[in-house]
Structures are given as structure tokens and as C-alpha cells.
Amino acid sequence: VVGMLALSPTMETGILAEWYLSEGQAFSAGEAVAKIETDKASIDFEAQDDGYIAKILTEAGTGADIAVGTPIMVTVEEEDDVAAFKDFALEESAAPAPVAPAPEPAPAVVEAAAPTPPAPAPAPVAAPEPVAEAVPPPPMEDMIAAVAPVLSTGWGDFAKINSPIVKTLSKQQAEYIEKYGTTGQVPL
């Protein structure tokens, strides 16, 4: 007995739109047996193994939602076994019942051992506070001299940053222009 498979991770029900095979026909692994419509797409139900359809339990095209796990067909491995399921009817008790969540076990009560008294805390030791010497800010001339290699104060479009990458790119661009001529780009 083959139940409705979940053809996607979120599938809970599906509509059996069409059977591609009829009772007694053979199928091979990977062959499409039926078309099932989910809430997102129509997907072919492919056989996992070789076999024969002995009995179709759910008719196609009714438009009824079929829950995942509900039996839809009976398959057999040998053609001789098909006749044994000609009058097969599914018992109502064989249909999957909704699965109730398993009750959670009650948490085990662990008896607490007698608490051990905490170890005495060490006596605090007063640490001398560090004395910060007041350092005057450096003269403005020293700060300008420190920033000058990185920042040019010339006025172009904006002040240029003289970073190593700009120097490298500018050098490579100059070499290219010498070798091939103009690039059509404004030099860096």
C-alpha cells in the first residue's frame, strides 16, 4: 500500500489530478505514475522501484484534498500478484489517524544535596591608583607635519589622498600611456 507522499517539505495535502498508468500496468523506478497538485505546483509522483499497479484506491480528478500518508494505490513486484488485489478494499482503521503529539515526560526531580558553605572571600587589597601625568597636546606645527605625507592641501576637485594604492595606480596608468598611448581617462 502506497500512501500520498510529501513531495515538498511543506506539503500537508495534495490533489490527485491524473493517473498516468492504470491497474495492472508495469512501471519502472523513476517513471511518473501520477500527477499531484500541491498548494504551490503540479508535481509528477515518480515510482521508487519497479513494479505493477495492483489497485488504485483513490480516483484522480475529484479535486479533493488528500492528506499526506493516506493510501492512494497498492503496488506489487510480480505481475502474477495483481489479480490477488482485484477486490481489495481499504479498511477504515487502516487509514492513518492524525498523530497526537507524544506527551512530554515529567521532568525528573533531583534532590538537592545539602548546600556547602561558600569559601570565605579573600580580603580586599587596596591598589594604589595610577597617577596620570597631564600631557599637553603637541604643537600644531608638529601635527601638520605628521599629516602632510598623507593629505595634500591642494585644491582640485577635492583634496587628494596620497595613499599607496593611488600612487601605484597612477604609476601603472603612466606606464600604460607611455606604452600604448592615451586611455581616454583623466590621469590620476
pLDDT, one tens digit per residue, over 48-80 is 888 998 888 888 888 788 888 888 888 888 888
pLDDT bracket for residue 188 (50, 70, 90): low
d(CA 20, CA 35): 7
DSSP 101-163: PPPPPPPPPPPPPPPPPPPPPPPP-PPPPPPPPP-PPPPHHHHHHHHTTTB----SSSPPB--
Model confidence pTM above 0.85: no
Q: Which residue has the higher pLDDT, 51 or 149?
A: 51
41: burial class by Cβ within 10 Å (0-12, 13-18, 19+)? Answer: exposed
pLDDT of residue 98: 43
Grid cell for residue 67? 492528506
The CA–CA distances, whole Å, from 51 to 25, 56, 74, 182 equal 9, 14, 10, 74
Mean confidence (pLDDT) of the chain = 75
pLDDT exceeds 60 at position 154:
no
Q: Which residue has the higher pLDDT, 100 or 16?
A: 16
